[in-house]
């Protein structure tokens, strides 16, 4: 997936997706972690579509299935955190 396509998908979905994850997890801090893990899982997936209409439900599906507070999140490498930081700076 091209960077510009991912950036557009991220810009359009990050806010509403975070709100959704925050509601289902009941924890804003956990929602931050789950949101980042959601996008990392999305990037690692074999999802080939570049259409926001198709990416959005897929992201919500990933976010819904990730662990909530009390369950351990998978580890995120320092490189992955840097990618997320750079994307957040662009918002």
User: What's the pLDDT tens digit per position in 26-79?
Assistant: 888 888 989 999 999 998 887 776 677 888 989 998 888 876 655 444 444 444
Region label for 67, one of left (φ > 0), alpha (ψ between -120 and 50) or beta (otherwise): beta
- Give me the residue spans of the domains in the chain: 3-90
* Residues contacting 81, CB < 8 A, separation 6+: 36
What pLDDT was estimated at residue 11?
Answer: 92
Q: Strand, coil or helix: what is 67?
A: coil
* Angle formed by the axes of helices 3-25 and 78-90, nearest 10°: 100
User: What's the pLDDT tens digit per position in 11-24?
Assistant: 999 999 999 998 88
Report the sign of the C-alpha dihedral through residues 91, 80, 2, 45, in that order: negative
């Amino acid at each position: 997936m091209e960077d510009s396509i991912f950036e557009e998908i991220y810009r359009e979905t990050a806010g509403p997706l975070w709100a959704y994850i925050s509601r289902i997890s009941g924890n804003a801090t956990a929602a931050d972690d789950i949101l980042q893990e959601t996008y990392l899982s999305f990037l690692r997936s074999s999802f080939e579509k570049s259409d926001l209409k198709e990416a959005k439900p897929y992201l919500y599906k990933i976010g819904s299935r990730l662990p909530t507070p009390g369950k351990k999140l998978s580890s995120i490498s320092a490189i992955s955190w840097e990618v997320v930081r750079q994307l957040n700076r662009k918002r």
